[in-house]
Structure 1
Amino acid sequence: MAVIDLPPWAVPNGASPSFLDFGGVLRPSTGAGLLRVDRLGSRYKAKLSFPPFTDQAQGRIIVSRLIRAKRMGLRTEYPLVCPQPLQDGVVDGAGQAGTTLRIRGLDRGTLVREGFWISVVRASGQHYLHNVAGEVEADADGRLDLPLSEMLRWPFADGDQVKLVRPMIEGIVDGDEQAWSLSIEHFVGIEFTVEEAG
Structure 2
Amino acid sequence: MSILLPTARIRSFALAPRLFSGNQEGALGGADLPVPRMGDRWSAIVNTAQLRQNADGLALVAALTMATTLDARMPVQQPHVPQLPFGSAPVVDGTDQGGSSIRVRGVPAGTVLEAGRYLSLLHFGVHHVHMIAQPTIVAASGVVTISLWPMLRFLSIDGERVYLDTPMIEGKLVGFDGGARFIRNRIDPFEFSIVERS
Q: Same fold (TM over 0.5)?
A: yes
The answer as to 2:56 corresponding to 1:63 is no
C-alpha distance in 2, partners of 1:83/1:16? 16
Counterpart of 2:95 in structure 1 is 94
Counterpart of 1:15 in structure 2 is 13
Counterpart of 2:2 in structure 1 is 3
Counterpart of 1:138 in structure 2 is 138
Q: CA deviation at 1:55?
A: 5.4
The answer as to 2:50 corresponding to 1:49 is no
C-alpha distance in 2, partners of 1:6/1:58? 11
Change (3 A) 1:21 1:166: same
Gapped regions of structure 1 (runs ≥ 5): none
Structure 1 letter corresponding to 2:83: P
Gapped regions of structure 2 (runs ≥ 5): none
C-alpha distance in 1, partners of 2:158/2:103? 10
Q: Describe the superposition over 1:93-144 as per-residue Cα deviations: whole angstroms up to 9, x where unpaired.
A: 011111111010011111111110000001x310000000111111111010
Structure 2 contact 126–170 (Cα < 8 Å) conserved: yes
Task: Please give the secondary structure, in 1, of the residue aligned with 2:13.
Answer: strand
Q: RMSD value over aligned CA atoms?
A: 1.8
Percent of residue pairs bearing the same amino acid type: 29
Structure 1 contact 118–162 (Cα < 8 Å) conserved: yes
Structure 1 letter corresponding to 2:125: G
Change (3 A) 1:71 1:37: same
Which structure's residues are more often strand, by fraction?
2
State the TM-score, normalized to the length of structure 1: 0.90
Structure 1 contact 84–164 (Cα < 8 Å) conserved: no
C-alpha distance in 2, partners of 1:152/1:125? 16
Q: CA deviation at 1:29?
A: 4.1
Structure 2 letter corresponding to 1:5: L
Length, aligned pairs only: 195
Task: Please give the secondary structure, in 2, of the residue aligned with 1:30.
Answer: helix
C-alpha distance in 1, partners of 2:171/2:111? 30
State the TM-score, normalized to the length of structure 2: 0.90
Counterpart of 1:160 in structure 2 is 160
The answer as to 2:190 corresponding to 1:197 is no
C-alpha distance in 1, partners of 2:9/2:108? 28
Structure 1 letter corresponding to 2:170: E
Using the TM superposition, name which of 13-22 and 132-141 deviates more.
Answer: 13-22
The answer as to 2:172 corresponding to 1:172 is yes
The answer as to 2:37 corresponding to 1:39 is yes
Task: Please give the secondary structure, in 2, of the residue aligned with 1:173.
Answer: strand
C-alpha distance in 2, partners of 1:120/1:153? 11
Q: Describe the superposition over 1:157-189 as per-residue Cα deviations: whole angstroms up to 9, x where unpaired.
A: 101000011110000012472432323343453
Structure 1 letter corresponding to 2:15: P
- The aligned runs of 1:67-78 (5 Å cut-off) are 67-78=65-76
After superposing on structure 2, the runs of 4+ consecutive aligned residues of structure 1 that deviate more than 3 Å are 187-190
Task: Please give the secondary structure, in 2, of the residue aligned with 1:180.
Answer: coil
